[in-house]
Structure 1
Amino acid sequence: MSRVDRESVFVLHRRPWRDTSLIIELLSARHGRIAGVARGARSAKSAFFGLTEPFRGLEASWTRRGEMVTLTGLEPTGRTTRLAGRAMWCGLYANELLLRLTPRDDPDPAIFDAYSCLLPALTTPSRQSNALRRFEMSLLNALGVAPELDVDSQAGTPVDAEGRYRVDPVAGPFAVPARRGGVRGSVLLALASGGEIAAEDDAAALRVMRELVDHQLDGRKLNTPAFFRENPS
């Protein structure tokens, strides 16, 4: 049996288990995504009660005998970000991506850092779109599945900020005539560098990232995009 003490984590998801317990999905820099049993956590008498909502930053302790860990301690930290309204749905979307795309017990500090930066950014409405696009790219890069968005995949030349491109989710962008639409190269360069995307380019950046993310989901559906379709602003 192995033991971990006071590991920094974020709560991604929780679901009821048996009469009064919860199974909690946690994200850790050193241990990756883990699933833990919080025994009795739904009881008001439990030391875990009120500490397991999504986005909560915690120091967690646990023991492991198999695939799932048993949580032995949860302590609040100052890293908890309170999200409400659209910010909450943005955060839940990010949590769903982590649950669907990251394997358990496969640590990557870059993913943990990207998530740590995302949550506080979501509290400012004007930063939400940029924050989500940056997180999506960081996640795909960390997983090793993001195409190079700053290189024309067919010509092998740098993407031209004034050019027009289509994006293959595996190979990356390729130039197209302006009359065929496509996305401006400046949008691809901003996505590749993690730079700011102008408000008028939000929709184009969203289309690019949706194609890349959907390719990785491989037909698996997310719950949160339904909210965004009904509440686009």
Structure 2
Amino acid sequence: MATAVQQEPAYVLHRRPWRETSLQVDVFSLNAGRMSLIARGANSARSPLKAQLQPFQPLLLDWTGRGDLKTLTQTEVRSGPVLRGTTPLYSGLYINELLQRILPAADPHPTLFAAYIDVLAELAGNDDVEPVLRRFERSFVEALGYSFAWDLARDTGAEVEPGQRYCYDPEQGIVQVPSQQVRLRNLPGDALLALAEGDFVSLECRRTAKRVMRVLVDYLLQGKPLHSRTLFSHGRKEPTERNQ
């Protein structure tokens, strides 16, 4: 039996041509999670949908259908922040690709949806994107059940201590004693303690957070590449510690 949904808050993650004149649109919605919609005729020159179905644009969507592919029936555009400049734009594309490629389909995550709204607003008004990205990555992995305590060594149960060095493994979290499956070593305890408090001020904290989150994201990708990571290297400026 076909289901009909009306006025569902959603954002476009990715879109691609479908058949001759339509688009297949991957969206992240409040109550339905990540899903794919067919926007019939949206790829034709006369359709207003081609301009409306853009990434980072707040939308209210109606759809109907059964199975994995639903049919978009109505689109309402809402006002929202605009990502201007290379760094915020590429960072937004990175976040969209995380959601599209890793988040399970048809699995609602209202808290993550709220975090997505917040991160777009932060990216729109901030060129220092690294803390913004790391905070969203935390919300993302927490929604998937991969959160961990930055200030606790899981293997020993001891609190992280300043001046000590630690390791990280996606299946365990922070660990004190290296083992064969450990993916990341030599993490400074001082930085881990600061990150536990959400402190991204020092360069050491930023580097540590980026190293850990990249290992975890790669683990969740299961060997699949993230195309958005190549944008900086192919663009006009190279990635730095202040970029993703």
| Both structures adopt the same fold (TM-score exceeding 0.5) | yes
Do the aligned partners of 2:57 and 2:79 also contact (CA within 8 Å) in 1? no
Share of identical aligned residues, percent? Answer: 39
Structure 1 residues 4 and 186, CA, compared in 2 at 3 Å: closer, same or farther?
Answer: farther
1:197 Cα deviation from its structure 2 partner:
0.5
Contact 2:33 2:107 in 1 (8 A): yes
The one-letter code sitting in structure 1 at the alignment partner of 2:15 is R
Shift in Å, 1:196? 3.3
Kindly state the Cα deviation for residue 121 of structure 1 after the two structures are TM-superposed. 1.3
1:162 Cα offset (Å): 4.5
| 3-state DSSP of counterpart to 2:50 | coil
Q: Distance in 2 between matches of 1:187 and 1:229?
A: 27
| 1:154-173 paired onto structure 2 within 5 Å | 154-173=155-174
Contact 1:134 1:191 in 2 (8 A): no
Kept in 2, the 8 Å contact 1:176–1:182? The answer is no
Find the partner of 1:207 among 188, 208, 211. 211
**Which residue pairs with 2:226 in the alignment?**
222
| Distance (Å, rounded) in 2 between the aligned partners of 1:156 and 1:119 | 37
Deviation at 1:56, TM superposition (A): 1.3
Structure-2 residue corresponding to 1:88 = 89
Residue 74 (structure 1) shift? 0.8
Q: How many residues align?
A: 228
Counterpart position of 2:77 = 76
What is the match of residue 181 of structure 2? none
Give deviations 1:133-157, integer Å, cap 9, x for gaps.
1111111111002333231112202
Do the aligned partners of 2:35 and 2:105 also contact (CA within 8 Å) in 1? yes
Q: Secondary structure of 1:167's match? A: strand
Give secondary structure in 1 for the equivalent of 2:131: helix
Deviation at 1:73, TM superposition (A): 0.7
Pairing partner for 1:183 from 183, 187, 190: 187
User: Secondary structure of 2:203's match?
Assistant: helix
Q: In the alignment, is residue 197 of structure 1 matched against residue 204 of structure 2?
A: no
| 1:222 alignment partner AA | L
Normalised by the length of structure 1, the TM-score is 0.89
* SS of residue paired to 1:35: strand
CA-to-partner distance for each residue in 1:30-50, whole Å, 9 max, x for gaps?
110010001111223224130
| Distance in structure 2 (CA, Å) of the matches to 1:150 and 1:18 | 51
Unaligned 5+ segments in structure 2 are: 179-184
Aligned equivalents of 1:161 and 1:5: distance in 2?
53
Which residue of 2 is the match for residue 153 of structure 1? Answer: 154
- Structure 2 residue 22 is matched with structure 1 residue 18: no
Displacement of 1:192: 4.4
Match of 1:122, SS?
helix
Describe the SS at the equivalent of 2:51: coil
Cα drift, residue 166 of structure 1: 1.5
Structure 1 residue matching 2:43: 3-state secondary structure: coil
Pick aligned residue for 1:125 from 120, 124, 127: 127
Q: Is the CA contact (8 Å cut-off) linking 1:137 and 1:191 kept in structure 2?
A: no
User: How much does 1:105 deviate?
Assistant: 0.6
Cα RMSD (Å) of the superposition?
2.0
Match of 1:34 in 2: 35
Greater mean alpha carbon deviation, residues 19-28 or residues 223-232: 223-232
Corresponding residue number in structure 2 for 1:232: 239
Q: Which runs of 5+ in 1 are unaligned?
A: none
Question: 1:184 Cα shift?
Answer: 2.4
After TM superposition, give the deviation of residue 161 of structure 1 in Å: 4.6
Q: How many Å separate the matches in 2 of 1:152 and 1:112?
A: 30
TM-score calculated relative to the size of structure 2: 0.86
1:121 touches 1:131 (CA, 8 Å); kept in 2? yes
Deviates more, 1:78-87 or 1:197-206: 78-87
Give yes or no for contact 1:133–1:191 (8 Å, CA) kept in 2.
no
